[in-house]
Amino acid sequence: MSHPHPDLAPPQPLADGGLRIVALGGLGEIGRNMAVFEYDGRLLIVDCGVLFPEPDQPGVDLILPDFEYIRDRLDDVEALILTHGHEDHIGAVPYLLRERRDIPLVGSRLTLAFIEAKLTEHRIQPAKIEVVEGQRDRFGPFECEFLAVNHSIPDALAVAIRTPAGLVLHTGDFKMDQLPSDGRLTDLGGFARLGAEGVDLLMSDSTNAEVPGFVTSEREIGPVVDEVIRTSGQRVIVASFASHVHRVQQVMDAAAKYGRKVALVGRSMLRNMGIARDLGYLNVPPDLIVDSRDIEEWPPEDVVLICTGSQGEPMAALSRMANRDHPIRIAEGDTVLLASSLVPGNETAVNKVINGLTRWGARVVHKGNAKVHVSGHAAAGELLYVLNLTRPSNFMPVHGEWRHLRAHARLASLTGVPDDHIVIAEDGVVVDLVDGRAQIAGAVHAGYVYVDGTSVGEITDTSLKDRRILGDEGFISVVVVVDSQTGKLTAGPEIHARGSGIDPAQFEQFIPQIERALEAKAADGVVDMQEIRRVVRRTVGRWVSDTYRRRPMIIPVIVEV
């Protein structure tokens, strides 16, 4: 089993007739999916998504793939294929198109509609190529065939990429729901046909590789949603991903059945469901939708609200309701339905929202106490099925954390893929398919690029470390005035602290220690301001650590006279 090594060198030039694959995101993480394929000097990109920040990344709005690897070669990009419309696959497209606006975007009708709406906000008019399942298109040396796959969003596609180097099947995100809400099945016949042709490399979704069996059908959720709305005596507030058209359809159908009006809350929910309705993916009964601003005019028992915020996002509608920071106020007897699965890492934030809602008297129905969501990703039984259908010569698990990638690799081994033909890579690791064999060929930089407000890439890991220290330990500033000629203290020290948890009165007892340390340096003839700054920082830091066992940020301010 081939795997990355922390000391991998930059790759050698690609061998003639070889295909190079570099993931700039999506390996070892859930999100930021982006893979770059290279053949004969030309590039094809599959997906360009974002990663959402963790609690230890304060102030960060989004995390992008690092485009440095392709920045000097953007003119070589033939197309950007988007497998489906989730943010972790399309969210970074506006930032890539800022660097080259005319990259053709290839995707299904709904996927392109979602990204076009996003690009309008960035004032970018994209070049679009709409494709459907069963279609074949050529982009430079890459012949691409698109196959229908079932997922938690309509119109998802897998893509088979043919070059003289071989056939690569990239599944995108998929599952094998045999009774999907929209009747659109994963094209297992197409997978089998490709397997008979000969799949040289299978790149397959690993998110649920640790989950045994098969994923439950979406149709089993409908009766549960129906029961929640039927038995609720007051308002029902449903929180879902803003792109989960199937779930919103189930809620709307149940609301219409029991004579309730529906209000959509949240900008992304309004935008996406409007697009889905206009394109025919969402069937909205007449007179069902009302404006959320008019919701108070309706009796609570006649209302269903559909909003964003199922993952505990601080600024999403449901989180603001839980914090009493939203025009819609949670009332005793309301029912809140969290109709989504937890994204790994969001458990604490979601539990906080659940507790907040419960505090105000709401009954919260969630995956932990009811069957209100099924995953959009294939479980181990389905992944084995695809491996056996396609019989790949080489296998590379994608889209998942390390444990998911490893589990998927084990499944591939069980189906007979030789261990030395299984490539477990991480972001930036270069994989070359040459003479029918996929192997690691080196590594390129593929770090995080942070979006913070309007800044892109200006925030570094050092900046985040400083923010964490400020948030956890506070800061202490020390102002001293020194003679630039002698280095002697002429005024101060003056100490100010915020968030450090230290009583300011204690600083008065400590100031003589700073004075003595500076006097000793002046006696040694030290007049270098950087050295004086270091003396102040070390002296204060040692005292705070010894006395309070804390490590606040210490900011010496040296004024020269």
Q: At what angle do helices 267-278 and 109-121 cross, to 10 degrees?
A: 140
The two tokens of residue 338 are 């969290």
Question: Residue 50 corresponds to which amino acid?
Answer: V
The two tokens of residue 421 are 């033909």
Nearest to 443 by CA among 28, 139, 100: 28
C-alpha–C-alpha distance, residues 2 and 402, integer Å: 14
**Does 268 count as an annotated binding residue?**
no
The two tokens of residue 539 are 């002296």
Region of 211 (left: φ > 0; alpha: ψ -120 to 50; beta: rest) is beta
Distances (CA, A) of 102 to 117, 129, 219: 17, 12, 41
**Does 374 count as an annotated binding residue?**
yes
Nearest to 89 by CA among 393, 305, 398, 471: 398
3-state DSSP call for residue 360?
A: coil
C-alpha–C-alpha distance, residues 241 and 346, integer Å: 14
Nearest to 65 by CA among 15, 27, 111: 27
Nearest to 133 by CA among 152, 150, 116: 150
C-alpha–C-alpha distance, residues 31 and 21, integer Å: 18
The two tokens of residue 361 are 């008297």
Question: Residue 64 corresponds to which amino acid?
Answer: L
172 half-sphere exposure, CB direction, 13 A CA radius: 37
Nearest to 81 by CA among 195, 210, 172: 172
**Does 375 count as an annotated binding residue?**
yes
**Does 350 count as an annotated binding residue?**
no
**b or e along 520-544 (b: 16 or more beta carbons within 10 Å of the residue's beta carbon)?**
ebbeeebbeeeebbebbbebbbebb
Q: Which residues pair with 555 in a beta bridge?
A: 477
**Does 122 count as an annotated binding residue?**
no
Annotated binding residues, written as ranges, equal 373-377
Annotated binding residues for substrate, written as ranges, equal 373-377
